[in-house]
Amino acid sequence: MPYIGEASNPFGLDDFLEQILEQIGEEDFERLREINALIENLARDLKASDVQEVSPAQSHRRLITVAVDGGSSLIFPQHREISLGMVRVCAYSSDLRFQPEPAIVVIKNHEVFDILRSDLSAEDLKNKRHQYIDALFSRFPLKEFSEQTGIKREDLGEHIYKDLESFSSIVRSVLEWAYIVYIAEKYRDFKVVLVRDGRLEQHGVKKDFVKKLKDYFERNKTYIVGVVKSTKLVREFVASSVIQRWLSCFAGEYPIYFKIPNSLMEYTFRFERQWNPEFDESFVFGYRYLGKFLTETFHPMQAVITFDIPWYLDSDSETIAEIVSTLFKHRSVLYGGSISAVSEAHARASIDSSIARTIEAELRVRIERETGLKIPDWEV
């Protein structure tokens, strides 16, 4: 990382280029030939019959997107003794007249961690943390979430208590799932597709949490999709090269979609628990699909959208076609062919840094007035 005001050195191109060309030899070229052969082999696993055209006429469902923000939105992050975490979850649907109310949680660092290094015993600290989580589970939306799924405080495990960042991050994702369940119950009598901003997965908690949550969605046959903004499939060389070959071959006059073959998922993500929702130790809920919803693009990988569809819907081609059709109806040129409602939900959930700074300013004044404690007005 450069120092403030420091510029990078633009000289030395010839030195580096000479060394690189000297060091790359036949052994490296052979490895690259193997990579090329791997790409060709993986590309063969998608057949023309696996690729489906999007049918806009099959969309008969409303689309509701749910997004969360606040994983790194902390008040006084540089002062752990008085820091707080903020989480906000929002939903948005252009198909609804009134938007659902957001869920907001503020986390006090000192109520979960032994900030003052006191003589609090390990057992007392554990009980203190459990009481705090129990209090969260007694309020909206975690109260209804627990009633519907059977998930309790014990199912969160112990990793959540590593530090405030871990605690805020896990509470953030759990709160998002709770809000999704709340929306699913609220609109149970409507034909809707729920869209999560991100993968259908949950890690950092006990297996019982994942199992109970998956059981709830399967039991209710919930139409839920995870829209993935960033994925190894389009970032990493081998996977993106394979996908580019598929799109060059199959994408054209009509918008298309297809399920990513297991062979590419296994190569890209390696461990089966990271991509196979039906694997016993898996923490993912869905199979990965890819859609090309805009046909007129400058290159094949432009306007590519990837999304997860739950395993319990994966074998029903008509259901998948209806879900994809609903996503297609809400595509947007402004968001690279992705789903505009996802961006809208995330914008509503996002916590701008100015909010944290304004709250800090208010708290400084009140804390000093009430306690005499002066909080430095600077960042580390």
pTM of the shown model: 0.86
178 in a structural domain: yes
Give the bridge partners for 359, in sequence order.
none
Kindly report the average pLDDT of the chain as a whole number. 86
Give the bridge partners for 88, in sequence order.
69, 104
pLDDT at 93 over 70: yes
Domain extent, residue 201, equals 52-353
Supply the pLDDT for residue 372: 93
3 state DSSP class of 306: strand
312 in a structural domain: yes
**Number of compact structural domains in the chain:** 1
Supply the pLDDT for residue 380: 47
Residue range 162-177: mean pLDDT, rounded: 83
CA distance 277 to 282: 6
278 in a structural domain: yes
CA distance 254 to 264: 24
Supply the pLDDT for residue 215: 96
Give the bridge partners for 256, in sequence order.
53, 292
355 contacts: CB under 8 Å, gap ≥ 6? 73, 86
101 in a structural domain: yes
Residue 344 exposed, middle or buried by CB count within 10 Å (0-12, 13-18, 19+): buried
pLDDT at 16 over 70: yes
H or E element that contains 209: helix 207-220
Please state the separation of Cα 152 from the chain's center in Å: 22
pLDDT tens, 65-87?
887 665 557 888 888 788 888 88
3 state DSSP class of 237: helix
Q: What CATH number did the domain enclosing 59 receive?
A: 3.30.2170
pLDDT tens, 183-224?
999 998 888 999 998 899 998 899 999 999 999 999 999 999
3 state DSSP class of 99: coil
311 in a structural domain: yes
Please state the separation of Cα 141 from the chain's center in Å: 19
18 in a structural domain: no
